[in-house]
Amino acid sequence: MTMAVLLHRWGLFAARRRRAVLAAWLLVVAAVVALSVGFAGNFTSETEIPGSQAQSALTEMDRHFPSSENRSADIVFEAPEGASFKDPATAGAMKESLTAAATVPGVTSVTDPVESGTVSPDGRTAVAQVRFSAAEHEEVPEADLDALEDTADSSRAAGLDVLFGGDAFEETGPPVGPAEALGVLVALVVLAVTFGSLVSAGLPLVTALLSVGTSMAALMALASVFDIYEKTPSLSIMLGLAVGIDYALFILARHRSELLQGRTVREAAARATATAGSAVCFAGLTVIIALVGLTVTGVPALVSMGFGAAVAVAVAVAMSLFLLPALLTMTGERLRPKPDSRAARRMRHDSDPGTKPSAGARWVAAVVRRPWRTVVTVTVAMGALALPATQLQLALPDEGSEPTSSAVRQTYDKVGEAFGPGANGPLVVLVSDAPSGTLKTTAEEVADELNGVDGIARTSPVEYSEDGAAARVQVVPSTGPRDAETGELVTDLQDRLVPLAEENGGEITVTGQTAVSIEVSEKLSAALLPFALVVVGLSLLLLLAAFRSVAVPVKATAGFLLSVGASFGVIVAVFQWGWLAEALGVPSIGPVSSFVPIIVMAILFGLAMDYEVFLVSAVREEYVRTGDPRGALVGGARNAARVVTAAALIMVVVFASFLLEQDPALMPIALALAVGVFLDAFVVRLTLVPAVMALLGRAAWWLPKRLDKWLPDLDVEGARLDQPRQDQPEPVPAPAAHPTKTEQDVPS
């Protein structure tokens, strides 16, 4: 029994028991929401790799220097022109604020810049660090932060400028904002134009929003058990909303087409679930495989993002397959296009080969007439777009990636101006586990070794832990935390310190948040190729079984590589080189977030396979029916191009709407996906793929006979639906030419 037959039976069941199905789904949603309310957990901002060298050393440092693992804030004082913190009056005004800061609830310590040496060389800028009792994974209460900011009033009254920054002041906005609402509104307009009906346009939005809400509630509940990265909800909403609308759109379009052919509401819903639903199932499974494949990176933050997005896609698929048929039936005749309506004329036009071809079919027909020219032109153009990707630089985002309007970014910039770029990302050399009586000697040798090293702006005096078991030296690089030179400095220091550790015994490691970030970036870069091989391999097998062809999966993957290369090129041009950065509201120019390439590759591969499945299944359906490979290309485009165009435009709009949030971690992902989906749908799937298949002819559907016997018959096109079941007699034709009111099953 094929998947199409199983889904057809489910569609009939859901149509007959639509109220029970709806009630069951509402109970499931209510249960998930109740769990999220009762067991809601907090999302984490940690991006480290457990067990890595820098992270292990950071954990060891937190054990010996406990205060370093708590939340902290930086207070930046700037004296007016002509004044200096060497002046008693200026220093006294700052001291008054620091004394008040020490009394703020939750504050455990406050450093004095004059005593700690954190006054700039010109004497005009001073930085004090405030430690809170809140642990790194906890939030500092808003009231405590407000009270801390109030302590600056006396300094400002004395003429000082005061800024607040640090991880305690990092803002985590809600995962959904006005920008996403705008994306949903534009999607509604596209759906209304596509279907010519607000009722039809509303159904995909209802199921998509319901699936996004359910998946978000599930993630909140799971956060009480697992560590889920703080950007996971936003990514899950972005992807869940896009695929949720698209998957429902494909099934709804097929349902209306079946209704136009005169089928009853129940049978139309069942056949739409069986045919378009099969494509949805395989497309969704491909996306989920790509997202779950992120586990090969071994980076917990990235794994949680992939897992959360996979949950969103899985819920979207489930609601499209198992809830939408019931909703289609409950909506009844209101979805049937009126015979004289524009939508009905368009649908008859698309399905009748005797009429003038649609714009999509005419485009594909032109491509098929000149396949070689098309292949060369598209390949060269996409290759040109991908060229900037050869200059891709990666780093984890930091406070310098935030919008310039934020207090955190202003503090970051001020510290960099006054103390040099490396002050925003100092390194720490930790000496621990030294043999008895050798800690001081080893630490002094480390300090001597660091003197005069290229790339180091300055070092701090050796600091010893209270337990006497460890020592550390702070190293301020001459370059910023996201600069490639800082990564080279970390490697250089590690190479220099290994001989000292071997000679003296104990552990000497380079650590600190900057070193951990560099380590994560290197890990992600190394995981990119294994990830691509795993995901592409599994998806090739899935497409091989779905379309029973060797060429279809191979050219689908080749087209994806062009799309992802072009999208990488665009993000390098925008986020590294600054092209159109001001117009797009990019907060900072510099290296791209290390998470971006592998996340974009995972999601874009899945989405590229979506359009491949929907378009090629329509082409194969025509090929199975006619046996004409070239005619099937035009016929498939006639049937599918309009809906695929609408689906792609909706995805582009949803992804692009996230650019308006100006989240430095999500903006490159959103732009890459918007550009990638646009290019993949319109340039690769609707242009390059037909040209390649036209060149291959019947060979496009070739499959070795032995492999044909081994592969399961998945019947994505639903060809088995029109074959009578072996356990039932041939049906007797109904005497009526058109379905009766009872057959229509109009809901009461």
Q: Is residue 61 domain-resident?
A: no
The pLDDT tens digits for 26-56 are: 999 999 999 999 888 888 877 778 778 898 9
- What pLDDT was estimated at residue 722? 62
Ramachandran region, residue 136 (left: φ > 0; alpha: ψ -120 to 50; beta: rest): alpha
At 674 the three-state DSSP class reads helix
Out of 100, 135, 169, pick the residue that ends a domain.
Answer: 169
**What pLDDT was estimated at residue 306?**
93
Burial of 341 (0-12, 13-18, 19+ CB in 10 A): middle
- Per-residue pLDDT of 616-627, as tens digits, reads 888 887 887 888
Residue 738 lies in a domain: no
> Final residue of a domain: which of 169, 189, 213?
169
Note whether residue 744 is domain-resident.
no
Torsion angle of the four alpha carbons 453, 455, 458, 464, in this order, in degrees rounded to the nearest 10:
-70
* pLDDT one-digit tens code per residue, 51-104: 788 989 988 998 888 766 678 999 999 999 989 998 999 999 999 999 999 999
CATH number at 482 reads 3.30.70.1430
Total domains in the chain come to 3
| Cβ-contact 58, 516 below 8 angstroms | yes
At residue 728 the predicted structure's pLDDT band, cuts being 50, 70 and 90, is: very low
Q: Kindly indicate the confidence band of residue 739, based on its pLDDT and cuts at 50, 70 and 90.
A: very low
Alpha helices in 293-406 (DSSP H): 300-322, 324-331, 342-351, 359-369, 371-386
pLDDT in tens, 560-578: 999 999 999 999 999 999 9
**Domain for residue 392, yes or no?**
yes
Does the pLDDT of residue 255 top 90, yes or no? yes
Radius of gyration of the chain (CA): 30
pLDDT digits (tens, 9 = 90+) for 278-300: 889 988 988 898 899 888 888 89
Q: Are residues 464 and 599 in the same domain?
A: no
**Res. 180: pLDDT tops 80:** no
At 528, the pLDDT band (50, 70, 90 cuts) reads: confident
Residue 748 is assigned to a structural domain of this protein:
no
For 493-502, write each residue's pLDDT tens digit. Answer: 999 999 999 8
Between CA 43 and CA 619 the distance in angstroms is: 44
Q: What share of the chain is helix, strand, coil (3-state, %, to 5)?
A: 65, 10, 25
Does residue 342 share a domain with residue 222?
yes
CATH of the domain at 100: 3.30.70.100
**Contact in structure between 273 and 4 (CB atoms under 8 Å):** no
Distance, CA of 139 to CA of 145 (rounded, Å): 10
Q: Is residue 350 located within the same domain as residue 208?
A: yes
The predicted model gives 446-453 an average pLDDT of: 91
> What is the pTM (predicted TM-score) of this model?
0.86
Please indicate, yes or no, if residue 149 is contained in any of the structural domains.
yes
Q: For residue 171, count CB atoms less than 10 angstroms from its CB and return exposed for 0-12, middle for 13-18, buried for 19 or more.
A: exposed
Q: Clarify whether residues 22 and 114 are in a common domain.
A: no
- What value does the mean pLDDT take over residues 604-613? 84
Q: Is the dihedral of CA 443, 447, 450, 456 positive or negative?
A: positive
pLDDT of residue 446: 94
Average confidence score pLDDT of the chain:
87
What pLDDT, on the 0 to 100 scale, is given for residue 747? 42
Residue 211: predicted pLDDT: 96
For 555-568, give one letter per residue: b (16+ CB within 10 A) or e: bbbebbbbbbbbbb
Q: CA 212, CA 460: separation in Å to the nearest integer? A: 50
How does DSSP assign 75-106, residue by residue? EEEEPPTT--TTSHHHHHHHHHHHHHHTTSTT
In a shared domain, residues 325 and 205:
yes
Host domain of residue 151: 68-169
The answer to whether residue 716 scores a pLDDT higher than 80 is no
Q: Which segment of 67-81, 210-224, 348-362, 427-441 scores lowest on mean pLDDT?
A: 348-362
Question: In this structure, is residue 534 part of a structural domain?
Answer: yes
Report the DSSP beta bridge partners of residue 394: 592
- Picking from 117, 142, 169, the residue at the C-terminal end of a domain is 169
Q: Which of 209-213, 264-268, 400-404 comes out lowest in average pLDDT? A: 400-404
User: Which of 113-116's residues contact partners 24+ apart within 8 Å by CB, and which partners?
Assistant: 113/77, 113/85, 114/85
354: in domain: yes
Q: Is 128 helix (H, G, I), strand (E, B) or coil?
A: strand
% of the chain at pLDDT higher than 70 = 91
Q: Are 400 and 665 in contact (CB under 8 A)?
A: no
| Predicted confidence (pLDDT) at residue 735 exceeds the cutoff of 50 | no
| Same structural domain, 532 and 504 | no
Same structural domain, 580 and 683: yes
User: Is there a single domain that holds both residue 156 and residue 214?
Assistant: no
pLDDT at 653 over 50: yes
Tokens of 213: 């809400």
Predicted confidence (pLDDT) per residue in 95-151, tens digit = 999 999 999 999 999 999 988 889 999 999 999 999 999 877 678 899 999 999 999
At 353 the pLDDT is 60
Residues counted in the chain: 748
pLDDT class for 734, splitting at 50, 70, 90?
Answer: very low
Instruction: Identify whether residues 602 and 668 lie together within a single domain.
Output: yes
**Residue 164 sits in the same domain as residue 281:** no
Residues 625 and 704 in one domain: yes
The pLDDT assigned to 693 comes to 93
- Residue range 691-701: average pLDDT? 92
Domain co-membership, 198 together with 287: yes
69-78 burial string, b = 16+ CB within 10 Å, else e?
bbbbbbbbbb
